[in-house]
């Protein structure tokens, strides 16, 4: 699960950066997209 979550976070971050620019990326939205808690972003 660890590698899958990490890859999912990176993919979601890339997509958000391409759509909204770097300023449009935030942990809460990434976590919601991936389906994990926002605090877990730091873990992975």
Domain annotation for the chain: domains and CATH numbers: 2-43 (1.10.10)
Residue 2 has pLDDT above 90, yes or no: no
Q: What average pLDDT does the segment 35-43 reach?
A: 92
Whether the model clears a pTM of 0.85, i.e. scores above it, the answer is: no
Give the pLDDT confidence score for residue 10 in this predicted structure: 95
CA distance 1 to 39: 16
Confidence category of residue 24, pLDDT binned at 50, 70, 90: confident
- Contact by Cβ (8 Å): 13, 35: no
Q: What average pLDDT does the segment 9-25 reach?
A: 94
Confidence category of residue 1, pLDDT binned at 50, 70, 90: low
């Amino acid at each position: 699960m660890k590698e899958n979550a990490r890859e999912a976070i990176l993919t979601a971050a890339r997509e958000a950066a391409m759509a909204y620019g770097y300023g449009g990326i935030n942990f809460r939205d990434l976590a919601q997209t991936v389906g994990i808690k926002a605090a877990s972003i730091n873990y992975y």
